[in-house]
């Protein structure tokens, strides 16, 4: 057992210091302007979270190519980006109280919905399985020139984040998005240097990391969110994930956030395993395994709801930082209460619209919590009693409108 407490600071390999062991994990804000730039709502939201006590705030996924969005109203940073002033204001709002603010950078690959992308791209031309094939068009395989372009795009977004005043960046390598698609043998059947062996499948993420490190220097924090596994037969396994962790650790990555799953197997939003429910954190056992092999700082996200659960993960040495998402979308002050030693419990609970078919067909957790985030962006209090069905109706309406706008714009 270690004596580390949630209030202790953490020095990362690059020398940066996190003031405590609680991080707000990435949650897509979905409230950018029409031209994909951030706005005042981002400042309100991150000011609120930076007041809430977490030592590290990780932004929702910022896309690096406007042709391929994960969700409507994503912020996009690519060549010709016009929102640097707004980006600076966003950064300023999130770094108050000595809080670290890292930008999560992502490319959705084939997890870009039909109403946003006619022909998504991926490692290989392998479509998402039913019923997701109704919501996502089949992808085409990227050619090598495009892969190098994506490496440059991730790097450009990271450089822009640093220029704007963000204090770090995180590569989104989890949840079934493009980097994860390359890592997974189920989604990557390439026969060139980007597919086949694990060394080849991890080439994309490694090249992105190296390119960012070369551009940002040795003293700027770079992290990654990585799956413990895909939880699909024939997918990315824990053993493979551990190999990727070892390689990135040897390259001096600053923080590895462990999550798991994808749209096809959404384990990141909850596990039904009895042992996991008892221990709160969904991917705790995997973290314990990697901890035996590497000393790189580990952040564990998914399922934390109590101070006891967080402290025990830290004290057992499974991780160095605990990541919270839904809890802080509902209660931005939750980290402060935990750090004060209060025995508070997160208000996160099982959501249902009351209609089973809708609960199954829609990413209910995402859209309901996104509504709470939007309330914070408008400086309103969250509404734990909001009916999930209302969020579903609003989302369907907004997606329809977005699709229509894109058809008209063509
Ligand atoms: C509304 C919402 C949006 C999310 N967006 C992202 C995202 O942009 N990037 C990411 O890595 N994870 C995203 N997640 C997943 C969370 O970071 C986290 O892994 C997951 O919610 C489990 O943590 P929790 O149990 O503390 O909520 C999102 C989750 C929610 C609820």
At 93-128, the pLDDT tens digits run: 999 999 999 999 999 999 999 999 999 999 999 999
**Whose Cα sits closest to atom 21 in ligand 1?**
325
Q: What is the mean pLDDT of residues 86-97?
A: 98
Predicted local confidence at residue 399, as pLDDT: 72
pLDDT digits (tens, 9 = 90+) for 217-238: 999 999 999 999 999 999 999 9
Whether residue 410 is predicted with pLDDT greater than 50 in this model: the reply is no
Beta strands in 46-158 (DSSP E): 56-58, 62-63, 100-106, 121-122, 140-141
Contacts 24+ apart (CB under 8 A), 114-120: 114/403, 115/72, 115/399, 115/400, 115/402, 115/403, 115/406, 116/69, 116/71, 116/72, 116/402, 116/403, 116/406, 117/67, 117/68, 117/69, 120/68
**Which of ligand 1's atoms lies nearest the C-alpha of 174?**
11
- 407 compared with 393, residue with greater pLDDT: 393
Whether residue 253 is predicted with pLDDT greater than 60 in this model: the reply is yes
Site to probe by mutation for ligand 1, drawn from 304, 325, 334, 394 as the one with most ligand atoms within 8 Å of Cβ, is 325
Identify which of 280, 274, 257, 288 has the alpha carbon closest to the alpha carbon of residue 327.
Answer: 280
Predicted local confidence at residue 317, as pLDDT: 94
Contacts 24+ apart (CB under 8 A), 82-89: 82/35, 82/37, 83/33, 83/35, 83/36, 83/37, 83/38, 84/160, 84/163, 84/164, 86/37, 86/38, 86/39, 86/42, 87/37, 87/38, 87/160, 87/161, 87/164, 88/164, 88/165, 89/38, 89/40, 89/43
pLDDT digits (tens, 9 = 90+) for 127-185: 999 989 999 999 999 999 999 999 999 999 999 999 999 999 999 999 999 999 999 99
Predicted local confidence at residue 210, as pLDDT: 98
DSSP 61: P
Work out the number of other CB atoms within 10 angstroms of the CB of residue 300: 30
Domains contained in the chain, CATH given? 10-348 (3.20.20.70)
Binding site membership of 6 for ligand 1 (Cβ less than 6 Å): no
Predicted local confidence at residue 398, as pLDDT: 78
Whether residue 406 is predicted with pLDDT greater than 80 in this model: the reply is no
Q: What is the mean pLDDT of residues 189-196?
A: 98
Distance 325 CA to ligand 1 centre (A): 6
User: pLDDT band for position 397 (50/70/90)?
Assistant: confident
Distance 332 CA to ligand 1 centre (A): 15
User: pLDDT band for position 273 (50/70/90)?
Assistant: low
Binding site membership of 324 for ligand 1 (Cβ less than 6 Å): yes
**DSSP line for 298-315:** EEEES---BHHHHHHHHH
- Cα 261 to Cα 333: distance, rounded to the nearest angstrom: 28
Binding site membership of 26 for ligand 1 (Cβ less than 6 Å): yes
Q: What is the mean pLDDT of residues 277-284?
A: 83
Asked if residue 106 lies in contact with residue 161, where contact means CB atoms within 8 angstroms, the answer is no
Whether residue 277 is predicted with pLDDT greater than 70 in this model: the reply is no
**Which of ligand 1's atoms lies nearest the C-alpha of 346?**
26
Binding site membership of 54 for ligand 1 (Cβ less than 6 Å): no
pLDDT digits (tens, 9 = 90+) for 16-68: 999 999 999 999 999 999 999 999 999 999 999 999 999 999 999 999 999 99
**Whose Cα sits closest to atom 9 in ligand 1?**
26
**Whose Cα sits closest to atom 5 in ligand 1?**
27
**Whose Cα sits closest to atom 13 in ligand 1?**
27
Identify which of 371, 365, 364 has the alpha carbon closest to the alpha carbon of residue 386.
Answer: 371
Distance 184 CA to ligand 1 centre (A): 20
Of 309-318, 353-362, 365-374, the one with minimum mean pLDDT is 353-362
Distance 21 CA to ligand 1 centre (A): 18
- Cα 279 to Cα 319: distance, rounded to the nearest angstrom: 14
Predicted local confidence at residue 403, as pLDDT: 56
Predicted local confidence at residue 404, as pLDDT: 55
- 401 compared with 184, residue with greater pLDDT: 184
pLDDT averaged over every residue in the chain: 94
Predicted local confidence at residue 195, as pLDDT: 98
Whether residue 242 is predicted with pLDDT greater than 90 in this model: the reply is yes
- Cα 162 to Cα 216: distance, rounded to the nearest angstrom: 8
**Which of ligand 1's atoms lies nearest the C-alpha of 367?**
1
Predicted local confidence at residue 114, as pLDDT: 95
């Amino acid at each position: 057992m270690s004596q580390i407490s949630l209030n202790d600071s953490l020095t990362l390999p690059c020398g940066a210091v996190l003031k405590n062991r609680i991080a707000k994990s990435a949650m897509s804000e979905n409230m950018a302007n029409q031209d994909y730039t951030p706005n005042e709502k981002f400042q309100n939201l991150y000011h609120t979270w930076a007041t809430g006590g977490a030592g590290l705030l990780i932004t929702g996924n910022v896309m690096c190519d406007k042709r391929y969005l994960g969700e409507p109203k994503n912020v996009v940073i690519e060549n010709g980006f016009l929102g640097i002033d707004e980006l600076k204001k966003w950064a300023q709002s999130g770094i108050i109280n000595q809080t670290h603010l890292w930008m999560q950078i992502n490319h959705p690959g084939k997890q870009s919905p039909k109403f946003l992308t006619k022909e998504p791209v991926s490692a290989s031309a392998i479509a998402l399985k039913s019923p997701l094939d109704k919501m996502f068009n089949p992808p085409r395989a990227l050619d090598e020139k495009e892969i190098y372009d994506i490496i440059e795009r991730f790097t450009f977004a990271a450089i822009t984040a640093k220029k704007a005043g963000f204090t770090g960046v995180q590569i989104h390598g989890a949840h079934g998005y493009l980097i994860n698609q390359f890592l997974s043998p189920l989604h990557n059947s390439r026969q060139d240097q980007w597919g086949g062996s694990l060394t080849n499948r991890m080439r994309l993420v490694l090249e992105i990391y190296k390119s960012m490190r070369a551009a940002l220097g040795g003293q700027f924090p770079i992290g990654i969110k990585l799956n413990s596994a895909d939880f699909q037969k024939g997918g990315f396994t824990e053993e493979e994930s551990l190999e990727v962790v070892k390689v990135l650790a040897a390259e001096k990555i600053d923080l590895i956030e462990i999550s798991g799953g994808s749209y096809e197997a959404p384990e990141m939003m909850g596990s039904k395993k009895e042992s996991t429910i008892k221990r709160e954190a969904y991917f705790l056992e995997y973290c314990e395994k990697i901890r035996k092999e590497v000393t790189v700082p580990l952040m564990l996200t998914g399922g934390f709801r109590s101070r006891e659960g967080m402290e025990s993960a830290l004290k057992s040495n499974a991780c160095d930082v605990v990541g919270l998402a839904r809890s802080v979308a509902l209660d931005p002050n939750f980290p402060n209460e935990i750090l004060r030693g209060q025995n508070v419990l997160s208000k996160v609970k099982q959501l249902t619209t009351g209609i089973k078919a809708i609960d199954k067909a829609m990413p209910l957790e995402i859209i309901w919590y996104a509504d709470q985030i939007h309330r914070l962006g408008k400086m309103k209090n969250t509404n734990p009693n909001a009916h999930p069905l209302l969020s579903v109706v609003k989302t369907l309406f907004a997606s329809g409108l977005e699709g229509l706008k894109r058809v008209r714009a063509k």
